[in-house]
Amino acid sequence: MYDFEIRHPPDAGGHFNGFGGKYAAETLMGPLAELEAAFYASWEDPEFQAERLRLLQQYAGRPTPLYHARRLSEEIGGAQIVLKREDLAHTGAHKINNTIGQALLAKRMGKKRVIAETGAGQHGVASATVAAMFDMQCDVYMGREDMRRQAPNVFRMELLGARVIPVDSGTATLKDALNEALRDWVASCENTFYIIGTVAGPHPYPLMVRQYHVVIGQEARAQSLEQFGRLPDMAIACVGGGSNAMGLLHPLRDDDIRLVAVEPAGYGLDGDDHAASLAAGRPGILHGNLTYLLEDDEGQIKGTHSISAGLDYPGVGPELAAMYEAGRLELETADDNEALQAFSRLSLCEGILPALESSHALAAAMRLAAKMKPEQMLLVNLSGRGDKDLDTVMQKTKEDAT
């Protein structure tokens, strides 16, 4: 089911058809080179890979199931919708795949402290989780606005022994948390490992995070063949930074399968209240890589909006930008309301509460499935569970009722 070949690698400088790279401050160039060397060496080390797989299986609960949502598919009356159940992974989202990999690498590099940025709190929780298991000090940077939206996750991180550091600068959301984590790392790189939560940042992060997540797509591919005797016609994932999307889609990109990324349209693409970087942005440089960004005409990064904190980011992983420009990635968007409707529909129809992030992928999947034939198959990455979003959904339901 799993293989360790690095398919579609970036060039030596970490570029995917010009996107990505290493746009970092000089102080970080040394630590990044050290990280890159350690990553490649560990990837070739059978002992490291065996330990990573052991933890993915015995600790994170992999492989996660592939589930045919029969009732939902019947109601929609189009393609068969199949869900990759990352919501069933330990900590309730795909994020744990990456933090297990990076924490193992941190341990191998002799770092005693890890730091992370988080938006929805899922990556922060996944980082705090592995830090607890590996007995490492863990500091998580989180925008104050996100701490308010995702209060239960803040408490979870604290229960796991992590310190959550509020970020007030800029828009007090994910991008500012990333800035603050980078500032910490510049000063602490000697003893600290920075666990970036998505397929962005300077090389080797986009490659490394992708490689830690491809287990999602590798499993889904094998499970699809085993359970249904075929591969899906289409695979769909939501995209903020894009880690669950790269994890699912990368192992399928050499197959004859349509690959679809769903971006958050927030209140709509007309104004600035969305976070659809590929649909409405343009290439620029932020957080160490060249990629599609939401910015004004002078390159100042815009504030974004999405009902899901995990998608509320003004950029996107550079490899997704490259795949999009190469025509290998189709783009869909779902706004806040469509995501909420999808959240509700999956809950009622299948007894599964999806994360609001994943609800964006579901919204687009339902729309697309309706236009397809019942003999066709559509694979959706259900990247996380929705328990963390209950407050948001409850509040929105009350607002709509008044």
Partner 1 sequence: MSLDRLKNCFERCAAENRAALVGYLTAGDPNPAASEKLLDVLASHVDIVEIGMPFSDPMADGPTIQAASERALAAGTRMRDVFHIALSVRKAHPAAGIVLMGYANVAFAMGYEYFAEQAALAGVDGVLIVDIPPEEAGDFTRALKAHKLCGIRLVAPTSSTARRKLAAEIADGFIYYVSLNGITGAEMGEISEIRTQVDALRQQAKLPICVGFGIKTPEQAHAVAAFSDGVVIGSHFVNCITAHEDNEPAMLSELDKTCAAMRAAMRKGGVGED
What residues act catalytically? 95, 117, 383
| Beta carbon nearer to partner 1, 15 or 85 | 15
Q: Is 37 in the site for partner 1 (CB under 8 A)?
A: no
From the list 46-54, 268-276, 284-292, 346-354, the region that binds partner 1 by CB under 8 A is 284-292
Query: Among 264, 338, 268, 275, which Cα is nearest to 303's?
Result: 275
CB of 282 to partner 1, least distance (A): 9
CA 52/CA 197 separation, integer angstroms? 17
| Beta carbon nearer to partner 1, 179 or 224 | 179
From the list 134-142, 175-183, 193-201, 248-256, the region that binds partner 1 by CB under 8 A is 175-183
Q: Is 30 in the site for partner 1 (CB under 8 A)?
A: yes
Q: Is 286 in the site for partner 1 (CB under 8 A)?
A: yes
Half-sphere exposure of 304 (CA within 13 A, CB side): 35
| Beta carbon nearer to partner 1, 22 or 345 | 22
Q: Which amino acid is at 354?
A: P
Could you tell me the two tokens for 253? 């990109």
Q: Is 187 in the site for partner 1 (CB under 8 A)?
A: yes
Query: Among 62, 110, 58, 115, which Cα is nearest to 88's?
Result: 62
How many CB atoms are closer than 10 A to CB 311?
Answer: 31
How many CB atoms are closer than 10 A to CB 291?
Answer: 31
Q: Is 110 in the site for partner 1 (CB under 8 A)?
A: no
How many CB atoms are closer than 10 A to CB 33?
Answer: 13
Q: Which amino acid is at 309?
A: A
Q: How far apart are the first and last CA of the chain?
A: 51
- For tokens 């559509």, name the residue: 378
Kindly give, in sequence order, each residue whose CB lies less than 8 Å from that of residue 269, ignoring residues fewer than 6 positions away: 276, 279, 280, 333
Strands (E), 148-281: 163-167, 192-195, 234-238, 258-266
| Beta carbon nearer to partner 1, 54 or 183 | 183
| Beta carbon nearer to partner 1, 211 or 304 | 304
CA 293/CA 282 separation, integer angstroms? 6
Instruction: Give the x/- contact pattern for partner 1 in 215-254, rule: CB under 8 A.
Output: ----------------------------------------
Which of 85, 94, 111, 175 is the binder for partner 1 (CB under 8 A)?
A: 175
Contact in structure between 319 and 19 (CB atoms under 8 Å): yes
Q: Is 18 in the site for partner 1 (CB under 8 A)?
A: no
CB of 285 to partner 1, least distance (A): 4
Q: Is 109 in the site for partner 1 (CB under 8 A)?
A: no
Q: Is 331 in the site for partner 1 (CB under 8 A)?
A: no
How are beta strands 19-23 and 15-16 bridged, if at all? antiparallel
| Beta carbon nearer to partner 1, 270 or 296 | 296
Q: Is 167 in the site for partner 1 (CB under 8 A)?
A: no
Could you tell me the two tokens for 2? 């799993």
| Beta carbon nearer to partner 1, 318 or 386 | 318
Could you tell me the two tokens for 42? 């560990």
| Beta carbon nearer to partner 1, 9 or 299 | 299
Which of 27, 57, 191, 227 is the binder for partner 1 (CB under 8 A)?
A: 27
Which of 10, 16, 19, 22 is the binder for partner 1 (CB under 8 A)?
A: 22
CA-CA distances (angstroms) from residue 52 to 5, 49, 57, 104, 108? 15, 5, 9, 7, 12
129: enclosing H helix or E strand: helix 122-134
Q: Is 114 in the site for partner 1 (CB under 8 A)?
A: no
Q: Which amino acid is at 236?
A: I
Which of 67, 170, 330, 349 is the binder for partner 1 (CB under 8 A)?
A: 170
From the list 109-117, 168-176, 249-257, 260-268, the region that binds partner 1 by CB under 8 A is 168-176
Which of 33, 50, 326, 394 is the binder for partner 1 (CB under 8 A)?
A: 33
How many CB atoms are closer than 10 A to CB 161?
Answer: 14
Which of 176, 319, 335, 350 is the binder for partner 1 (CB under 8 A)?
A: 176
Which of 213, 287, 305, 385 is the binder for partner 1 (CB under 8 A)?
A: 287
Kindly list the residues in this chain that would bind partner 1 in the complex (CB under 8 A): 13, 21-31, 33, 169-170, 175-176, 179, 182-183, 186-190, 284-288, 290, 293, 295, 297-301
